[in-house]
């Protein structure tokens, strides 16, 4: 049985018990959470979210990239979100690589050098600050007043706000 088969079996067993409102794509709390793809970050559990309350955007590192701005622009302009919550975390895999080394590896393996930024970082708090500023300065986002950034400790589960 593949991992996908395991997940599909779990979905069948789950049935219709997931609580929340599925009637609209507009999040009822009018918030978008942008975080890392790391499997240790269980966004719905961390914040006690129900289905339909928030948009959840994920990528490697939980960094604000052009694609995240695209998603946030749609989230705000078409689906009513007004706040952005950025959550990066301790022990992130993106802090264990460097921009050039990873691009060199990809180029050596494929013959092509990526045109996109890896967004590697060494200091998670500085990375959160950079991502918050990218949201605040984006001309495409009409709602940039309530943007906050946090570091999630994967060992303790605690959130620390980055100022």
Nearest to 68 by CA among 113, 115, 35: 35
Instruction: Determine the pLDDT at residue 13.
Output: 85
CB 46 within 8 A of CB 36: no
14-18, 26-30, 132-136, 140-144: which has the minimum mean pLDDT?
14-18
Top-confidence residue, 86 or 7: 86
Q: Is the pLDDT of residue 22 over 90?
A: no
Instruction: Determine the pLDDT at residue 10.
Output: 86
Question: What proportion of the chain, given as a percentage, has pLDDT over 70?
Answer: 99
12-21, 56-65, 113-122: which has the minimum mean pLDDT?
12-21
Instruction: Determine the pLDDT at residue 19.
Output: 74
In order of 36, 121, 141, 156, the CA distances from 31 in angstroms are 17, 26, 13, 25
Instruction: Determine the pLDDT at residue 14.
Output: 80
Whole-number mean pLDDT of the chain? 95
Distance of CA 7 to the CA centre of its chain: 21
Instruction: Determine the pLDDT at residue 82.
Output: 98
pLDDT digits (tens, 9 = 90+) for 28-83: 999 999 999 999 999 999 999 999 999 999 999 999 999 999 999 999 999 999 99
pTM attached to this predicted model: 0.92
Q: Is the pLDDT of residue 122 over 80?
A: yes
Q: Is the pLDDT of residue 153 over 90?
A: yes
Distance of CA 8 to the CA centre of its chain: 24
């Amino acid at each position: 049985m593949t991992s996908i088969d395991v997940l599909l079996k779990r979905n069948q067993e789950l049935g219709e018990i997931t609580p929340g409102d599925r009637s609209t794509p507009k999040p009822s709390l009018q918030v978008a959470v942008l975080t890392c793809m790391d499997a240790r970050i269980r966004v719905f559990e961390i914040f006690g979210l129900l289905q339909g309350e928030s948009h959840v955007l994920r990528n490697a590192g939980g960094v604000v990239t052009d694609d995240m701005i695209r998603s946030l622009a749609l989230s705000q302009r078409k689906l009513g979100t007004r706040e952005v919550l950025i959550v990066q975390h301790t022990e992130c895999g993106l802090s264990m690589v460097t921009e050039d080394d990873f691009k060199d590896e990809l180029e050596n393996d494929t013959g092509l050098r990526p045109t996109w930024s890896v967004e590697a970082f060494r200091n998670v708090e500085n990375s959160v600050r950079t991502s918050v500023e990218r949201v605040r300065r984006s001309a495409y986002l009409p709602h940039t007043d309530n943007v906050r950034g946090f570091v999630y400790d994967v060992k303790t589960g605690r959130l620390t706000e980055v100022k």
